[in-house]
C-alpha cells in the first residue's frame, strides 16, 4: 500500500510541473499493479486531455468513478501551484453542477486571489447561502440542542453513563457547528458584497 501512495505522489508531482511523460509512465505502472485504482484512471485521463488526446482520455475517465469529486480535489490541489489550470477545472465543475455552492465559493476565492474581481463577483453572485445556512448551521444546531436535552433527561433519570456519552456527543456537535458555520457565514458575506 505504501508503494501505491509513493507512485501516486510522484506522478502528481510530475503532473503539477507539467512533466506529463514522466507522470504518465508512473500512472501506467500504478494501473498495471492496481487496475481498480480510480484516482490513477482519473489522473491518466486528465493528462491525456491536457496533452490533446481527448478520445483516449474519455476511455480513462469513464473508468475513474466519481469524476466530479476527483476533479474538485484536483482543482483545490492546483490553486496555489497553477491557478490558471485550477480555474479551468472549477469552470468545468460549475458546468457539471451549477447549484454547488462550494464550487462557486472556491472559484470566487481563487479569482479574488488572482486579481480577477469581475469573475470573483460573478462567482459569488451564484451562491445560494441559505442552503448552506440550513445544512451547516441550523441542522447541527438543532441536533446539538436535541442531544443536550436528551442527555440532561437521561442524567435526571439516573442514567448518568449514557447521559454523559450523549452530552459528550453534543460537545463534538458544537465543534462541527463551529467549523462549518464560518464557511456558511463567509458565503453570505461574499454574496452581499457581490450584489
Q: Which of 139, 138, 123, 140 is nearest to 187 (CA)?
A: 123
Is residue 94 within 8 Å of residue 103, measured between CB atoms? yes
pLDDT for the residue 103: 95
> Where does residue 60 rank: exposed (0-12), middle (13-18), buried (19+ CB within 10 A)?
buried
Task: State residue 74's pLDDT score.
Answer: 93
Distance CA 96, CA 91 (A): 9
Are the CB atoms for 75 and 93 separated by under 8 Å? yes
Domain boundaries, the chain: 1-65, 66-126, 129-194
Instruction: Please give the CATH architecture assigned to the domain spanning 1-65.
Output: Alpha Horseshoe (1.25)
**What pLDDT shows up at residue 174?**
87
Q: What share of the chain is helix, strand, coil (3-state, %, to 5)?
A: 85, 0, 15
Cα 52 to Cα 78, 131, 141, 162, 163, distances in angstroms? 20, 39, 49, 60, 61
| Distance, CA of 119 to CA of 7 (rounded, Å) | 36
Report the pLDDT value the prediction gives residue 118, as an integer from 0 to 100. Answer: 93
Tell me what pLDDT residue 140 has. Answer: 86
How far apart, in whole angstroms, are the C-alpha atoms of residue 122 and residue 113?
14
- Asked if 144 contacts 173 with a C-beta cutoff of 8 angstroms, the reply is yes
- The model's pTM: 0.81
**Cell (9 digits) for 28:** 501506467
Tell which CATH architecture fits domain 66-126: Alpha Horseshoe (1.25)
Q: Same fold for the domain at 1-65 and the one at 66-126? A: yes
Spans of the chain, pLDDT less than 70: 1-2
Considering only CA atoms, give the Rg of the chain: 22
CB 89 within 8 A of CB 114: no
pLDDT (tens digit per residue) in 126-153: 998 888 888 888 888 888 899 999 999 9
- The whole-number pLDDT of residue 69 equals 93
Give Dmax over CA atoms of the chain in angstroms. 69
Amino acid at each position: 500500500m505504501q508503494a501505491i501512495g509513493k507512485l501516486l505522489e510522484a506522478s502528481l508531482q510530475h503532473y503539477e510541473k507539467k512533466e506529463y511523460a514522466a507522470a504518465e509512465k508512473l500512472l501506467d505502472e500504478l494501473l498495471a499493479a492496481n487496475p481498480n485504482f480510480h484516482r490513477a484512471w482519473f489522473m491518466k485521463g486528465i493528462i491525456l486531455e491536457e496533452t490533446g488526446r481527448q478520445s483516449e482520455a474519455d476511455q480513462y475517465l469513464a473508468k475513474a468513478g466519481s469524476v466530479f469529486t476527483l476533479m474538485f480535489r484536483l482543482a483545490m490541489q492546483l490553486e496555489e501551484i497553477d491557478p490558471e489550470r485550477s480555474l479551468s477545472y472549477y469552470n468545468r465543475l460549475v458546468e457539471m453542477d451549477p447549484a454547488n455552492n462550494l464550487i462557486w465559493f472556491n472559484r470566487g476565492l481563487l479569482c479574488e486571489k488572482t486579481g480577477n474581481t469581475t469573475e470573483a463577483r460573478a462567482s459569488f453572485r451564484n451562491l445560494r447561502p441559505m442552503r448552506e445556512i440550513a445544512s451547516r448551521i441550523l441542522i447541527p444546531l438543532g441536533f446539538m440542542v436535541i442531544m443536550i436535552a436528551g442527555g440532561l433527561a437521561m442524567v435526571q433519570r439516573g442514567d448518568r453513563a449514557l447521559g454523559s456519552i450523549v452530552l459528550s456527543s453534543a460537545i463534538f456537535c458544537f465543534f462541527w457547528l463551529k467549523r462549518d458555520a464560518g464557511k456558511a457565514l463567509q458565503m453570505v458575506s461574499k454574496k452581499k458584497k457581490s450584489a
